[in-house]
Amino acid sequence: MRAVDVISKKRDRKELSPSEIEWFVAQAAKGLIEPYQVTAWLMSVYLNGMTTAETSALTRAMRDSGRALRFSLPSIPVDKHSTGGVGDKVSISLAPLVAACGAFNPMIAGRGLGHTGGTLDKLEAIPGFNVHLPLDAFTKLVGEIGCAIIGQTAEICPADKQFYSLRDVTGTVESLPLIVSSILSKKCAEGIGALVMDVKAGSGAFMKSDTDAIALATALVRTGQSMGLRVLAFVTDMNQPLGRTVGNALETAEAIDFLKGESESRYAELTYLLAAHMLVLSGVCTNHAEAHEAAEKAVRDGRALEKCRVMIEKQGGDPRVVDDSSVMAKASRVEPYLAKSDGFIGAMDTMRIGIAAMVLGAGREKASDVIDPAAGFVMRKAPGDPVRMGEPILDIHCNRIEKMETAARVLDEAITIAETPGPIPALVRKVIASE
Amino acid sequence: MRAVDVISKKRDRKELSPSEIEWFVAQAAKGLIEPYQVTAWLMSVYLNGMTTAETSALTRAMRDSGRALRFSLPSIPVDKHSTGGVGDKVSISLAPLVAACGAFNPMIAGRGLGHTGGTLDKLEAIPGFNVHLPLDAFTKLVGEIGCAIIGQTAEICPADKQFYSLRDVTGTVESLPLIVSSILSKKCAEGIGALVMDVKAGSGAFMKSDTDAIALATALVRTGQSMGLRVLAFVTDMNQPLGRTVGNALETAEAIDFLKGESESRYAELTYLLAAHMLVLSGVCTNHAEAHEAAEKAVRDGRALEKCRVMIEKQGGDPRVVDDSSVMAKASRVEPYLAKSDGFIGAMDTMRIGIAAMVLGAGREKASDVIDPAAGFVMRKAPGDPVRMGEPILDIHCNRIEKMETAARVLDEAITIAETPGPIPALVRKVIASE
C-alpha cells in the first residue's frame, strides 16, 4: 500500500476499505507516513466526507493506535460524552450518581478552552484532587467504587492527538467524520460498552444550529453503533448556561448540591435524564422509569453524595468539600451585575457568557493559560425571568479585579433585556437512538 | 495573515485574493509555512479549483519565488511549450528556425520521464552539448544568436519544484490550476513576452481526450493572457509518434534533417505552424502567411541549419553533427519489427510505443535512470499505411540486446493491423487564441 494511493482514492470520492484506513492511521501514528501526506488526506476527508463504515474504521484505527482498557465487570461499563458548553458540570454529579446505582463509569474527561469549561478544571478546584491517575489505578478504582474521572493520557489514542494538532493548523477541524472518530476513539479506549451522548446546540455550543447538532448526534450514534456500542444521543439546549453557576469551584459546589437534593434547575433535569439512560444502556436497570427512580433514590438516601465523597477521597481530593464548599478557593470580590432596564431576560449569547468567565480566569484563551478556580458567575436570573432595573442578574466572582470591567462589558453584549418574555427553547431538542 | 486562514478560505470555495496567494507561496518558499499546511492547501485547490485570477496570481507568485530573466531586445522574446509526447523533437528545430528568422527564443526545456522524451536528453545526444549554461551566459547567448536551450536551474521557480515534490506524493498532480501555474511560471521566468503552446491529445499524451486537452489549453491561454503574455495554444494529435523517429540521437538527427529541407512529415508541418505563430506573436512578422514563408525560406537558404550549427557550437556541442549524424552514438544492433499480417496500420497506443523505447534505454522509468542516446525506433509505416505480413513497420535501434524481446512484446500491444484503413486524426485539433 502507498499513502498517495489512499489519498487519491479519498480525493476521488471513493470509499476507503477498513484495511486501507487502518493501514494509513497505523503508519501515520508510527511516523511512517509524512505529516504532509496526512494533511492532504485530512483535507480530502474534510471535503469529500466519509461513510459510516469509513468513520467506524477510522475510529477503530485511532483507538488501536494506543492502549485500550478492558474491564470484566457485572454490568456493561458506561460513559457519557458532552460536546461542551457553558456551566455544564453534569459529569461531576453523574459519575458518582450512576456508580451509586450500581453502574461502572470509567470517565476520561477534558479541560476547558475558549468559552467552554472542562470537567478536569472543575474537579481540580477541589484541593488535592488528582486527575492524573495511571491507567491501571484508574481501571482498578472504577472496578472498586464504580467511577473515576481522569484526564487524557499519552497512552490513549496517540493518533488522535497527532491528527488533531495537524487539523488545527490546516482548517480541517470541523469535519463530521473527523470529529466523530476523535470523540469515539477516545471513548472506546475507555473500555466502555455503552455511551450516552449529549450534543449541545445553541449560542453557547460548538454547533449553533439544531441541524448541525442533529447531524453530529446522528453520525455519533451511527458510528458508535457500528463500533458495537450501545448508544443514544440527546441534542440539548445550550442557549443559556446549564444550571446556576459558571466557573470551576462554583460549578463543583453546584454539582455537590445536586447530589444533596437540589433539583430545580435544567442541570438537575439533564443529569437525571442522562443517568437514567446510562443505567438502562449498561443493563443495570431494565427500563427508563425504573432507572429514573433508582437515580432519584440514590440522591434521596445520600448514596450518590457518599459515592462522590469516596471518589474524591480515592483521587486524593479533600473529601470535606462534600460538606463544606469553602475548602475550595473563594473569590476575593463578589459583585452583582445589575439589570440596566425593566423587562424580561431575553436571549443570551451564551458563548459570550463563557468568554466573560474566561476573561475573569475561569477559562483559558490558550491551552497554557492558568485557571483561577474561584472565578465565575452565579446566575440569579434565567431567560424569561422578569427583572427590574438595578436588580442583580448574576453575581460576578472575581480575584483579577482589573478584568472586572472587561468581563462586565462582554456580559453587556451577552445578555439582553426584552420588553416581553421570549420563547424558552426546551432542554431536550431531539433524541437519536440507534437503529 | 495566517496559513490556516488561507487554507480554510480555499476549502470553503471562496476566491483567494492575489495578495493571499502571493503571501502563501512566498512564505512556503521560504519554509515559513509547513509542508503539511502546503499540502492541505494543494488538496483544497485540487478539489475546489481556481479562477483565472487565482491561477494567474499563483503563477506570478511561483515565478517570483526565484530569479526571472529580463531581456532588452528588438522584438518580443518568444517561446514554445509542449505538454510532451512521443517523438516530439520540435524544439530542437524550432529554436534555430525562429532565431534564423530574427526572433529571440530563450528556451528552458525538460527531460524525459516515462513514455515521453525530453529535449535536453535529445540535445545531449550531441557530444559535448551543454544544457547547464549559467543563466547569465544563457541570456547573453540568446541576445547574441537568437536562441539557446538549457535545463531548469535551481534559481528558476524554486517554489514550483517544492510544490511539485509535495504534489507528487499527495495525489495533487492532476489539477488544472496547479499544472497551468507550474508550466507558465517557468515560462514567464524566461523573460518571454509571447508563448505558443502545443497541447498534445491522444494515446501518447498526458491528456488522452480532446476535451481534457482543450480544457488545459484554454486554461493556459486565459492565464497566460492575464499574465500579460501574447499567447496561442494548439491542441495537436498524439495518436502516433511525431515524425519518423523515437529516441534521442535518432530524433536529433531528424530535427537536423528537417532544417536541411526534409518536410514530408507531420513533424515538419507542426514545426512550420508553430514557428510561423511564434514569428507573428513576437512581432517579427506581421501575419501568418508572411511568417510561414519566412520560415520556409530560412530552411531553403540554409540559415536555419546554420543557426542550429552555431547554437550547438556555442553550447559546447560538436557542430559536425549538422553534416554528419554519425558523430552521435549509434546502436550496435538495428532490427526490423515486422508486420504479423497483411492489412493497414491501425490505431497506435502511442504511450506504449514510448514505453517500448524507454525499455530499450531511450527513456527513464525513474528520474535517476541512465539514457542510451542511440536507442529508439525509426518508423517505416504510419497509421493508415498498407502493410504486408513480414514487411518492416519500424526498425529497432538497440544496444541493450537483452531488452529487445520485452520491447518487441510492448510493440505487439501498441501496434495493430486492421483489415481496412481507419480514420487518421488531423494533426491540429483545435486552436485556442486569447480573447
Cα dist from B64 to B53, B59, B68, whole Å: 16, 9, 7
Cα separation, B305 vs B221, whole angstroms: 31
The DSSP call for residue A148 is: E
* Exposure letters A132-165 (e unless 16+ CB within 10 A, then b): ebebeebbebbeebbbbbbbbbeebbbbbbbbee
pLDDT at residue B182 is higher than 90 = yes
Would the CB atoms of B3 and A169 count as touching at under 8 Å?
yes
Contact B232, B197 (CB under 8 A): yes
Would the CB atoms of B35 and A35 count as touching at under 8 Å?
yes
How does residue B411 score in pLDDT terms, banded at 50, 70 and 90?
very high
Helix (H, G, I), strand (E, B) or coil at A240: coil
Contact A167, A159 (CB under 8 A): no
Would the CB atoms of A40 and B43 count as touching at under 8 Å?
yes
Would the CB atoms of B8 and A47 count as touching at under 8 Å?
no
Q: Can you give the pLDDT at residue B264? A: 86
How does residue B112 score in pLDDT terms, banded at 50, 70 and 90?
confident
Preferred mutation among A43, A45, A46 to probe B, highest tally of B CBs within 10 A: A43
Residue of B nearest to A9 (CA): B171
Preferred mutation among B8, B13, B43, B164 to probe A, highest tally of A CBs within 10 A: B43
Cα separation, B58 vs B269, whole angstroms: 35
Radius of gyration, CA atoms only, chain B = 22
Q: Which residue has the cell 420588553?
A: A419
Is A186 among the residues known to form the active site? Answer: yes
How does residue B123 score in pLDDT terms, banded at 50, 70 and 90?
very high
How buried is residue B294: exposed, middle or buried, by Cβ count under 10 Å (0-12/13-18/19+)?
buried
In chain A, which residues have their Cβ closer than 8 Å to the Cβ of B169?
3-4, 34, 36-37
pLDDT at residue B157 is higher than 90 = yes
Residue of A nearest to B169 (CA): A4
Q: Closest partner residue to A170 among B7, B47, B166, by Cβ?
A: B7
A266-315 residue pLDDT tens: 999 999 999 999 999 999 999 999 999 999 999 999 999 999 999 999 99
How does residue B434 score in pLDDT terms, banded at 50, 70 and 90?
confident
Question: Which residues are CB-neighbours of A116 under 8 A, at least 6 positions away?
Answer: A84, A85, A86, A88, A204, A354, A363
Cα separation, A329 vs A325, whole angstroms: 9
Taking the CB of residue B367, how many other CB atoms lie within 10 A of it?
8
Output the CA angle B137-B139-B144, nearest 5 degrees: 90
The DSSP call for residue B170 is: T
**Across residues B155-177, what is the average pLDDT?**
95
Cα dist from A51 to A23, A48, A83, A127, A350, whole Å: 18, 10, 21, 46, 33
Cα separation, A261 vs A250, whole angstroms: 17
In chain A, which residues have their Cβ closer than 8 Å to the Cβ of B35?
34-36
Q: Which residue has the cell 489505578?
A: A137
Cα dist from B174 to B50, B179, B212, B216, whole Å: 13, 7, 11, 11
Q: Which residue has the cell 493572457?
A: B225
Q: Can you give the pLDDT at residue A333? A: 97
Q: Which residues on chain A place their C-beta less than 8 Å from a C-beta of chain B?
A: 3-5, 7-8, 11, 34-44, 46-48, 166, 168-172
Q: Closest partner residue to B40 among A4, A11, A40, by Cβ?
A: A40
Cα dist from A278 to A76, A97, A221, A252, whole Å: 10, 10, 14, 21
B187-246 residue pLDDT tens: 999 999 999 999 999 999 999 999 999 999 999 999 999 999 999 999 999 999 999 999
Q: Can you give the pLDDT at residue A113? A: 85
Q: Can you give the pLDDT at residue A434? A: 87
pTM recorded for the entire structure: 0.90
Radius of gyration, CA atoms only, chain A = 22
Question: Which residues are CB-neighbours of A62 under 8 A, at least 6 positions away?
Answer: A25, A157, A159, A160, A163, A181, A182, A185
Question: Which residues are CB-neighbours of B88 under 8 A, at least 6 positions away?
Answer: B82, B116, B117, B200, B238, B242, B267
pLDDT at residue B367 is higher than 90 = no
**Across residues B154-179, what is the average pLDDT?**
95
Taking the CB of residue B400, how many other CB atoms lie within 10 A of it?
17
First to last CA, chain B: 35
How does residue B391 score in pLDDT terms, banded at 50, 70 and 90?
very high
Query: Which residues of B belong to the active site?
Result: 81, 160, 167, 182, 186
**Across residues B151-178, what is the average pLDDT?**
95
Would the CB atoms of A44 and B42 count as touching at under 8 Å?
no
pLDDT in tens, chain A (435 residues): 999 999 999 999 999 999 999 999 999 999 999 999 999 999 999 999 999 999 999 999 999 999 999 999 999 999 999 999 999 999 999 999 999 999 999 999 999 888 888 999 999 999 999 999 999 999 999 999 999 999 999 999 999 999 999 999 999 999 999 999 999 999 999 999 999 999 999 999 999 999 999 999 999 999 999 999 999 999 999 999 999 999 999 999 999 999 999 988 999 999 999 999 999 999 999 999 999 999 999 999 999 999 999 999 999 999 999 999 999 999 999 999 999 999 999 999 999 999 999 999 999 988 889 999 999 999 999 999 999 999 999 999 999 999 999 999 999 999 999 999 999 999 999 999 988
Taking the CB of residue B19, how many other CB atoms lie within 10 A of it?
11
In A135-175, which residue ranges form alpha helices assigned H by DSSP? 135-145, 158-168
Contact A100, A306 (CB under 8 A): yes
The whole-chain average pLDDT of chain A stands at: 96
Is A397 among the residues known to form the active site? Answer: no
The DSSP call for residue A89 is: -
Q: Which residue has the cell 453520525?
A: A219
Q: Can you give the pLDDT at residue B357? A: 97
Q: Which residues on chain B place their C-beta less than 8 Å from a C-beta of chain A?
A: 3-5, 7-8, 11, 34-44, 46-48, 166, 168-172
Q: Can you give the pLDDT at residue B417? A: 96
Question: Which residues are CB-neighbours of A153 under 8 A, at least 6 positions away?
Answer: A108, A132, A134, A135
Give kind and range of the element (H or E) at residue B198. strand B194-201
The whole-chain average pLDDT of chain B stands at: 96
